[in-house]
Every structure is written in C-alpha cells, then in structure tokens.
Amino acid sequence: MLVLGVDTSGREGSLALARVGAGSFAVLEVVSLAGRQYSAEFVPKLSDVLARHGVAKDQVDAYAVASGPGSFTGLRVGLSAVKGLAEIFGKPIAAVSVLETMAAAVRQPGTVMCAIDAGRREVFFGEYVVGESPVPSCLREELVSYEEFGQLLDANPSRLLITPDATITELCRFHTQVTHVERPQADAIAQVGALKIESGQTSTAEALDANYIRRSDAEIFAKK
C-alpha cells in the first residue's frame, strides 16, 4: 500500500510518500512545504515526488493528513487538497492529530500527555493511553491557558509529557517527566495514518474535517 502523508498544520509543512506492507513501513521520500506557500507549492511538489518514484496519482492507495491542531489557513489547504484527491480517485483518508502522532512515538505503555504552544498564553493539550492498541486512545484534546496547564502538571506530577516547543519545556521545568521531541512531519503522520487505515479508522472526503480545538477569531469576536 502506498500512503501519502500530508502536514500543513504548522509554520512549515511537508509531504511524505511511504510504502506499507505486512508489519513494515518504509518512507520513500519527505519533501518540505514552505510556510505561507502551501497553496502554491502543494500540487507541483506532489507531482514531483510521485514522478521521482514512478507513481501515478491514481496509484496512491490512501491518504493520511494532519487534521489539527494548528494554523486555520494551513490546515484548510492540506485538508482541501486531500479531499479533492480522495474524491477523484476514490481512496480512503485517515485524519491524524498532531498531538496523537507525538503520543504514538512513545514506546512505553501507559497514559501520556502531549502539548504544543498555541500562542496567546495558551496550550494545545492532549492526553492518551498508549499500548492498548496500535493507535493511542485519546482521552481528551483541548485548549488550556498557561495557568490551567500548570494545574494539569501539578495534578499529574509523574506522568510523561511530550512537547516539541521550547516554550512548553520552560513551563514544565519543574515537572519530573518531560521529553522534548521534534515536531512531527508528514512521514510520522503517514505512519499513524497507515495504522488507522489498517484498523478501519478512515474518513470519506465528505466527512473529513479539521480539528482546530481553538475557535477562530471570527467566532470569538463575532457580534450576536
């Protein structure tokens, strides 16, 4: 199975082409997408990476796309592109949370916390159970303030927390179990997506939607 991973959730994005077999996962290539250029770069870079590996667009078997949390505009670009491709070629989609991908990288079973700096003194926070199934089980994903985040840490002093952001690492400097990781790219999205696809956790193009967690400014400041 050939899986195309797509991540346009952050300041920089990426595409990944991976081959999935029985118990195997091999990344063929990862290509970067420049921030603020997702719309302009997506189709040309996708065409280039497929051509380099002799793959036609209709030979991609499934799509794995970062569904959030992250940039409203960036997520819409990636999700819209995947929706279009999946609808044209009739292929399944796995929607993958960036927080979920971080939890999936943990090898030890148990409950883990994941956090991404959301700006505005807020944190995208997720809590997952790892080890009971190939894909981490989500207990919750929510937007919390710095103060609420500190309370969560105090309530779970020995629980592992994973973050890619130095700002969050600094907030957690007194927490006993903190692992700083690189922000997941499209290859990690593809790997978790492949597990979801194999277990039947897929979405149709029509049903695919973003998991922004935070409401848009338009929603927050709109008048009644």
- All domains of the chain, ordered by start, with CATH? 2-97+184-213 (3.30.420.40), 106-180 (3.30.420.40)
Q: What is the pLDDT of residue 215?
A: 64
Q: What is the pLDDT of residue 22?
A: 86
Distance, in Å, from the CA atom of 77 to the CA atom of 8, rounded to the nearest integer, reads 7
Q: What is the pLDDT of residue 163?
A: 97
Q: What is the pLDDT of residue 220?
A: 47
**Three-state SS annotation for the chain:** CEEEEEECCCCCEEEEEEEEECCEEEEEEEEEECCCCHHHHHHHHHHHHHHHCCCCHHHCCEEEEEEECCCHHHHHHHHHHHHHHHHHHCCCEEEEEHHHHHHHCCCCCEEEEEEEEEECCEEEEEEEEECCCCCCEEEEEEEEEHHHHHHHHHHCCCCCEEECCHHHHHHCCCCCCEEECCCCCHHHHHHHHHHHHHCCCCECCCCCCCCCCCCCHHHHHCCC
Express each pLDDT in 140-193 by its tens digit: 999 999 999 999 999 999 999 999 999 999 999 889 899 999 999 999 999 999
Q: What is the pLDDT of residue 193?
A: 98
Q: What is the pLDDT of residue 216?
A: 53
Tell how far CA 185 is from the center of its chain.
Answer: 8
First to last CA, the chain: 49
Distance, in Å, from the CA atom of 67 to the CA atom of 84, rounded to the nearest integer, reads 15
Residue partners of 160: CB distance under 8 A and separation at least 6:
106, 108, 110, 112, 113, 177, 178, 179
**Contact (Cβ atoms closer than 8 angstroms) between residue 126 and residue 103:** yes
Please tell me whether the peptide bond between 92 and the residue prior to it is cis, using omega within 30 degrees of 0: no
Among 204, 215, 183, residue whose Cα is nearest residue 98: 183
Residue 76 corresponds to which amino acid? R
Q: What is the pLDDT of residue 107?
A: 82
Residues of the chain with pLDDT under 50: 217-220
Q: What is the pLDDT of residue 165?
A: 96
Distance, in Å, from the CA atom of 96 to the CA atom of 192, rounded to the nearest integer, reads 7
